[in-house]
């Protein structure tokens, strides 16, 4: 009998379709934020109505213009697209993390809860999601450098998150409209960061998925 039996390759969960879903969701979210940015430009070009802002001292003082009503629709669609993108991206990330554990044969550096909690816990959300992605990459390609797209994606994500006018702003839609009339440059900079992060994330998804597909049967 032959005592030198080749080790069986690791059995990984399929990632192709969750990766395609993540890419499509990222494209949808990016398109939604492009529409939002264009609406910011339209609001800034139109200028504040002669009747003044929608709200003054907490009280509504006029009816919204058609352009302002349109922005409410664009903003709501963008929020839904962003939620779909987040859920789909997390599904992809969880699938690849499980596969990475199989490939490495040891527990990941971050427990499974951090795949989700790492995005919302203050301070921890500055590095843990990137760390999860880096661990996934190193499990599949331990000798390879981290793809540049990961650093671009994370840098743009932090700008969008910390800008105060991007992903994490606490203003109401009407307050964002007021910002567009007054300081549209800040809104457009945040929009550009979100759109750039979505584009970079597509390359991240493709790169990490390709690494794991090398082990597919």
User: DSSP secondary structure string, the chain?
Assistant: --S-PPPPPP-----HHHHHHHHHHHHHHHHHHHHHHHHHHHHHHH-S-TT--SEETTEE-SPPPHHHHHHHHHHHHHHHHHHHHHHHHHHHHHHHHHHHHHHHSS--SS-TTHHHHTTTSTTGGGTHHHHHHHHHHHHH-TTSPPPHHHHHHHHHHHHHHHSSSSTT----HHHHHHHHHH-HHHHHHHHHHHHHHHHHHHHHHHHHHHHHHTT--
Q: Across residues 2-12, what is the average pLDDT?
A: 59
Residue 31, both tokens:
């398109």
Residue 3 lies in a domain: no
**Is the pLDDT confidence value at 60 over 70?**
yes
Identify which has the larger pLDDT, 123 or 216.
123
Q: Across residues 110-134, what is the average pLDDT?
A: 92
> Cα dist. 171→130, 164, 166 in Å?
27, 9, 10
Could you tell me which residues come within 8 angstroms of residue 14 by beta carbon, excluding any fewer than 6 positions away?
216
Residue 115 lies in a domain: yes
Residue 184 lies in a domain: yes
Residue 161, both tokens:
């998150």
Q: Across residues 121-145, what is the average pLDDT?
A: 91
Question: For all residues of the chain together, what is the average pLDDT?
Answer: 88
Measured at the CA of 202, the angle between CA 122 and CA 126, to 5 degrees, comes to: 15
Residue 132 lies in a domain: yes
Q: What is the pTM of this model?
A: 0.88
d(CA 16, CA 208): 11
Lowest mean pLDDT among 31-35, 67-71, 80-84, 160-164: 160-164
How high is the pLDDT of residue 107?
82
How high is the pLDDT of residue 175?
86
Q: Report pLDDT digits (tens) over 163-208.
A: 866 665 667 888 899 889 988 998 999 999 999 999 999 999 999 9
Residue 207, both tokens:
């790169």
How high is the pLDDT of residue 80?
95
Q: Across residues 114-132, what is the average pLDDT?
A: 92
How high is the pLDDT of residue 65?
92
Q: How many domains does the chain have?
A: 1
Residue 25 — pLDDT band, cuts 50, 70, 90?
very high
**Is the pLDDT confidence value at 98 over 80?**
yes
Residue 13 — pLDDT band, cuts 50, 70, 90?
confident
Residue 121 lies in a domain: yes
How high is the pLDDT of residue 165?
64
Burial class (CB in 10 A: 0-12, 13-18, 19+), 151: middle
Name the residue range of residue 102's domain.
16-48+63-213
Residue 187 lies in a domain: yes
Residue 57 lies in a domain: no
Lowest mean pLDDT among 17-21, 175-179, 207-211: 175-179
**Is the pLDDT confidence value at 32 over 90?**
yes
Residue 9 lies in a domain: no
User: What percent of the chain has a predicted confidence (pLDDT) above 70?
Assistant: 91
At 102, give phi and psi (nearest 5°): -65, -40
């Amino acid at each position: 009998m032959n005592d030198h039996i080749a080790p069986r390759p690791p059995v990984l969960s399929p990632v192709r379709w969750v990766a395609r879903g993540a890419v499509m969701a990222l494209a949808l979210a990016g398109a939604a934020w492009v529409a939002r940015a264009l609406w910011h430009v339209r609001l800034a070009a139109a200028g504040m109505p002669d009747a003044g802002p929608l709200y003054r001292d907490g009280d509504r003082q006029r009816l919204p213009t058609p352009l302002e009503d349109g922005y409410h629709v664009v903003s709501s669609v963008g929020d839904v697209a962003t939620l779909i993108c987040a859920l789909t991206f997390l599904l992809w990330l969880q699938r690849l993390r499980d596969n990475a554990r199989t490939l490495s044969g040891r527990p990941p550096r971050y427990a499974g809860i951090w795949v989700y909690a790492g995005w919302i816990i203050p301070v921890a959300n500055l590095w843990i999601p990137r760390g999860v992605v880096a661990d996934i990459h190193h499990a599949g390609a331990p000798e390879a450098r981290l793809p540049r797209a990961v650093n671009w994606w994370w840098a743009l994500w932090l700008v969008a998150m910390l800008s105060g006018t991007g992903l994490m702003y606490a203003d109401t839609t009407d307050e964002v409209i007021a910002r567009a009339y007054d300081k549209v440059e800040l809104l457009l900079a945040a929009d550009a960061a979100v759109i750039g992060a979505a584009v970079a994330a597509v390359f991240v998804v493709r790169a990490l998925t390709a690494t794991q597909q090398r082990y597919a049967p």
